[in-house]
Chains A and B, each alone.
Chain A
Amino acid sequence: MIIELGHYALVLALATSLLQGVLPIIGALRNDHALMEIGTVAAKATFLLMALSFGVLTYAHVTSDFSVQNVWENSHSQIPLIYKFSGVWGNHEGSMLLWVLILTFFSALVAVFGDNLPETLKANVLAVQAWIAASFSLFILLTSNPFNRLLNAPGEGQDLNPVLQDVGLAIHPPLLYLGYVGFSVCFSFAIAALIEGRIDAAWARWVRPWTLAAWTCLTAGISMGSYWAYYELGWGGWWFWDPVENASFIPWLAGTALLHSALVMEKREALKIWTVLLAIMTFSMSLLGTFLVRSGVLTSVHAFATDPTRGVFILIILILFIGGALSLFAFRAAHLKAGGLFAPISREGALVLNNLILTTAAATVLIGTLYPLALEAVTGAKISVGPPFFNMTFGLLMLPLMLAVPFGPLLAWKRGDLLGAGQRLFAAVAFGLVVGSIIYYIQNGGPIMALFGLALGAYMIAGSLTDLYLRFGIGKVTGAVALRRLSGLPRSVFGTALAHIGLGVTLIGIVAVTAFETEHIVEMKPGMTTDAGGYTLRFDGLRNGNGPNYSEESGHFTISQGGIELAEVWSSKRFYTARQMPTTEAGIRTFGLSQLYVSLGDDMKDGGIVVRVWWKPMILCIWLGTVFMMAGGAVSLSDRRLRVGAPARAKKQKKPVLEPAQ
């Protein structure tokens, strides 16, 4: 009964989103306040219904109701409670339900916090959000219904895919979707603006907080996914240029570009048409990603079992939305008034360079991801485009951006002083060179590109700090004045600096691991030792054990340095009985920002075991950098100028004027 309630709520949500998609638009055309207000109410109702529907599916999973096909296929009565929860979205149907839930969540946020928006804009935004929600609700109901019942309820489930039984999975998809789907709000704002044919700096100010919020979540989601792949898959890799990783990375690149171009539009009313296009493209890339992941055209860790009707359905949604949006854009863009011009060397110029490089890089990743599909469709030849391609193209294209990052905030709007900025960055460049030289000395040489990369990362960190330093005026003014300046600075300045520092930190991690990681594959018997990264690893022996739904073989290792025992680490191989599936649980030990990574291989006939040992220098920098970026996003979001309700103030102050005169 409860299950049917969830199913029914989903159908109702489709109905309310259809109302939300039609009535407010008519209201906006006729300037009918009551009709436009329906959008706000319907958005909240749709969200509550979706939440109910999702809640019911969660209930079915938590209570292990195997009469529901989705639960039977993806759960097991013996798995820990947290995986019963995460199992809700650890499958195709449930993850699509989560997708729509988050979409309607954002619509509801717009409905609740959008009081300061012009009435017609808000109505149109909510309508566009509703079209997306309706399409995907229909998709779920017609092709991927999670509430399908089984006639004879089986006694036991088929278990959740073991690689998904991990805390990382519990957090990764919701965060990723918050980012991915959050960009829908930017898309809806762009379409609403095109429908109205009017767009100005205020539009950019309304869009920016949504972009920032989505971007911050997407950063977190990608970073989490990368860390999960690193420790769970047992291959020691943190990024594979897997098509599905790319599918989330392309919107991230486009979203980063949008973040910067909206800044230009907000401050200088320039780049309007471009910003609108970018807002459309960013969410289009999210839709494309959803298609690539959910249609099964790609072979990937993320491709759940698929059937072709689903792919076709999403493809139709994709074509309707992207095609419709771009047609509307082509039709309306010429009517939008172009913004002001600026000197190439200026803050605007720097942000244009940022956009140029980020969108080109995003396009490169997109081409690399889709090329195998296109080639196969045209010639039938099957190819794989892997890390060598992306390192060569994406890596090289991003290089000038990294060099330019510290310059951006130092250039003035309209007309900047490149030479002056260069002089002020002298210390940062020097710092980078010193870091490079020290590493050259320590490593006794080393690949020149790696030294350059590490120096570049150090320069980016120092360069971003330079901007803050110059604004405080520490050393030039008294401490009290510097402190006052500090508290007077807009938070977005700190946000910028934090995010740029994060980029530098991540770069250092990537370069250090790529250039200086070591990997040994050795056959070990109890008592044998091997060296990695200056530490000695001793294999002590194997132990067999049992978990709630698996059996495991664990190897015990002791790590020592200079004869002193420092730590011990377990590395295991698990065998999940329900799915007859083995997984590797790597043993990882952290030393500072570096890690020692141990995974087990085959048992040898003579009693030994193959052990794979990696030394991963500075690897934690990769994710630490993304934490900085997220912090930057969060700090910027708290900037008063960007607060969602900020422009409302003027409206409220006007109220007394309306009071009757005495």
Chain B
Amino acid sequence: MTRKQKRLVIIGGGVSFIVAAVLLVMVAFSQAIAYFYVPGDLAKADLAPGTRIRLGGLVENGSLKRGEGMTITFSVTDTLDKVPVTYTGILPDLFREGQGVVAEGSFKEGSPVFVADTVLAKHDETYMPKDVADRLKAQGVNLGGKENIR
């Protein structure tokens, strides 16, 4: 091979690999990400059943039913709207009524109940997940400056 050919092979190989990587990233972005909603967004969101989303808000006071079988039900609220959620499994240590929570999962066909497969609660109880706090503030919920106090 001449110098020119060698260079061509190396550069051509490199460029095609990078192009493949870019395509892969684009495909993954269109398929493998989840959007974040609070309950108030859902009415206008028009989600197809089975679409994976993250649902954030506060665990509504008095809505948590635990200790009866392994499926736990609670409601996520942004204080205006609320969404019932079911989850089978063990809740994170910091999950509590009135606290911020992010649930990941989807709505099943024709059901208003959000089926979560992952539930995240903020590890540090002095502030709630940033995503939740931002959205709740945008919804006009008064957080009492709670989300950023140390």
Q: For chain A residues 214-237, which have a beta carbon within 8 Å of chain B?
A: 234
Q: Which of A13-21, A56-64, A381-389, A636-644 contacts B (4 or more CB under 8 A)?
A: A381-389
Q: Which A355-407 residues have C-beta < 8 A from chain B?
A: 356-357, 360, 363-364, 367-368, 371, 381-386, 388-389, 392-393, 396-397
Contact of A396 among B24, B72, B91, B93 (CB under 8 A): B24
Say whether B46 faces chain A, with CB atoms less than 8 Å apart. no
Q: A343-B1, A383-B35, A610-B90 are in contact. Are A521 and B10 (CB under 8 A)?
A: no
The CB with the most chain B CB atoms within 10 A, among A352, A371, A573, A582, is that of: A582
Asked if A299 meets B129 with Cβ closer than 8 Å, knowing A383-B35, A612-B90, the reply is yes
Query: In the complex, which residue of chain B has the Cβ closest to the Cβ of A381?
Result: B35
Interface of B is mostly: mixed
Which residues from 8 to 33 on chain B have a C-beta closer than 8 Å to any C-beta of chain A?
9-10, 13-14, 17-18, 21, 24-25, 27-29, 31-33
- Give Cα A350 to B127, complex, Å: 49
Residue of A with least CB distance to B5:
A344
Contact digits for A161-182, partner B, Cβ 8 Å, 1 yes 0 no: 1010000000000000000000
A582/B94 in contact, CB under 8 A: yes
Smallest CB separation, A72 vs chain B (Å) = 12
Q: Does A349 contact B (CB under 8 A)?
A: yes
B110 contacts partner chain A, Cβ-Cβ < 8 Å: no
Q: Closest Cβ of chain A: how far from B20's Cβ, in Å?
A: 8
* Known contacts A301-B123, A580-B125; A384 and B88 CB within 8 A of each other: no
Stretch at the interface among A105-113, A473-481, A595-603, A626-634: A595-603
* Nearest chain A CB to B95 CB, angstrom units: 9
Are A384 and B54 closer than 8 Å at their CB atoms?
yes
Give every chain A residue within 8 A of B145 (Cβ-Cβ). Answer: none
B142 to chain A, nearest CB (A): 21
Known: A343-B1, A601-B91. A523 touches B70 (CB 8 A): yes
Known: A341-B7, A342-B6. A389 touches B70 (CB 8 A): no
Given contacts A163-B123, A305-B126, A584-B93, A382 and B35 within 8 Å (CB-CB): yes
Residue A581 at the B interface, CB < 8 A?
A: yes
Instruction: Knowing A396-B24, A523-B69 are in contact, say whether A602-B90 is a contact too (CB < 8 A).
Output: yes
Decide if A360 touches B6 in the complex (CB within 8 Å). no
Q: A341-B3, A610-B70 are contacts. A386–B17 as well, Cβ < 8 Å?
A: no
Q: Which of B3, B21, B129 contacts A397 (CB 8 A)?
A: B21
Q: How far is the CA of A364 from the CA of B26 in the complex (A)?
A: 11
- Which residue in chain B gives the minimum CB-CB distance to A575? B93
The answer to whether B93 and A582 touch across the interface, beta carbons within 8 angstroms, is yes
* Interface membership of A605, Cβ < 8 A: yes
- Kindly state whether residue B148 has any CB partner on chain A within 8 Å: yes
Chain A residues 382 to 438 lying within 8 A of chain B, measured CB to CB, are: 382-386, 388-389, 392-393, 396-397
Cβ contacts under 8 Å, B82 to chain A: none
B33–A352 touching, CB < 8 Å: no
Q: In the complex, what's the smallest C-beta–C-beta distance from B108 to chain A, in angstroms?
A: 19
Q: How many residues from A make CB contacts under 8 Å with B?
A: 56
Contact B69 A360 (CB under 8 A): no
Residue picked from B72, B104, B131, most chain A C-beta under 10 Å: B131
The reply to whether B34 and A384 contact each other, CB–CB distance below 8 Å, is yes
Separation in Å of the A312 CB from the closest CB of chain B?
A: 15
Residues A521 and B36 in contact, CB atoms below 8 Å apart: no
Closest A residue to B10 by beta carbon equals A344
Known contacts A299-B131, A344-B9, A393-B21; decide if A384 and B36 are in contact (CB<8 Å).
Answer: yes
Q: How far is the CA of A344 from the CA of B34 in the complex (A)?
A: 41
What size tier do the contact residues of chain B reach?
Answer: 35 or more
Contacts of A356 in B (CB 8 A): 13-14, 17-18
A73 interfacial contact with B, CB 8 Å: yes
B124 in the interface (beta carbon within 8 A)? yes
Verify if B44 is at the interface (C-beta below 8 Å from A). no
Q: Which residues on B sit within 8 Å (CB–CB) of A371?
A: 29
Q: Indicate whether A604 reaches chain B with its CB closer than 8 angstroms.
A: yes
Residues of A within 8 A of B31 (CB): 388, 392
Q: Check A364–B29 contact: CB distance below 8 A.
A: no
Instruction: Tell me, yes or no, whether A549 is within 8 Å of chain B by CB.
Output: no
A382 and B150: CB pair below 8 A? no
* Distance between Cα atoms of A396 and B27 in the complex (Å): 13
Q: How far is the CA of A393 from the CA of B30 in the complex (A)?
A: 12
Instruction: Give min CB distance, B91 to chain A, whole Å.
Output: 7
Interface check A530, CB cutoff 8 A: no
The chain B residue with its CB closest to the CB of A573 is B93
Knowing A384-B36, A605-B67, the reply to whether A305 touches B89 (Cβ < 8 A) is no
Contact mask B112-129 → A, CB, 8 Å, 1/0?
000000000011111101
A583 within 8 A of B: yes
Instruction: Tell me whether A389 and B7 are in contact in the complex, defined as CB-CB below 8 angstroms, given that A580-B125, A610-B90 are known contacts.
Output: no
Determine if A73 and B150 form an interchain contact, defined as CB atoms under 8 angstroms apart.
Answer: yes
Question: Does B130 sit within 8 A of A, measured CB to CB?
Answer: yes
Cβ–Cβ < 8 Å partners of A521 in chain B = 70, 88-90
Residues of A within 8 A of B66 (CB): 602
- A580's nearest neighbour on chain B, judged by CB, is B125
Given contacts A299-B130, A581-B94, A610-B70, contact A388 B32 (CB under 8 A): yes
Residue in chain B with minimal CB distance to A372? B33
Q: Among B13, B14, B93, which residue has its beta carbon within 8 angstroms of that of A583?
A: B93
Q: Is the CB of A357 within 8 A of B67?
A: no
For residue B135, which residues in chain A have a CB less than 8 angstroms away from its CB? 382
User: Is the pair A383, B123 in contact by a Cβ cutoff of 8 Å?
Assistant: no
B109 touches A (CB below 8 Å): no
| Nearest CB of chain A from residue B71's CB, rounded to whole Å | 10
A381 to B66, CA, bound (A): 33
Q: A residues 574-628 with Cβ under 8 Å of B?
A: 579-584, 599-605, 610, 612
CA distance A11 to B11 in the complex (A): 51
Per the bound structure, the CA–CA distance linking A360 and B25 in Å amounts to 11
In Å, the complex CA distance between A275 and B90 comes to 48
A650 to B124 Cα, complex, angstroms: 58
Q: Which B residues are in CB contact (< 8 Å) with A389? A: 28-29, 32-33
| A505 vs B122: C-alpha distance when bound (angstroms) | 34
Interface residues of A in 165-210 (CB under 8 A from B): none
With A161-B124, A344-B13, A601-B90 as contacts: A367 and B150 at CB distance below 8 Å: no
* Given A382-B35, A610-B90: A305 in contact with B24 (beta carbons within 8 A): no
CA distance A202 to B66 in the complex (A): 66
Give the residue name and chain of the B residue nearest to A396 (CB).
B24
Q: Are A367 and B25 in contact (CB under 8 A)?
A: yes
Complex-state Cα separation, A38 to B134, whole angstroms: 51
Q: Collect the chain A residues with CB atoms within 8 Å of residue B32's CB.
A: 385-386, 388-389, 392
Pairwise interchain contact A384-B9, C-beta atoms closer than 8 A: no
- A392 near B94 (CB under 8 angstroms)? no
CB distance from B147 to the nearest CB of A (A): 10
Known: A383-B33, A582-B94, A605-B68. A360 touches B18 (CB 8 A): yes
Please name 6 pairs of A and B residues whose Cβ atoms are closer than 8 Å in the assembled complex, sorted by A.
A73-B150, A386-B34, A581-B93, A599-B90, A604-B67, A605-B67
> Other than the known A367-B25, A383-B33, A580-B125, what 11 A-B pairs have Cβ atoms closer than 8 Å?
A305-B126, A307-B148, A344-B6, A360-B18, A382-B134, A383-B34, A384-B34, A386-B34, A388-B33, A397-B24, A581-B93
- A-B pairs with lowest CB-CB distance, top 7: A305-B150, A601-B90, A382-B36, A388-B32, A389-B32, A582-B93, A392-B28
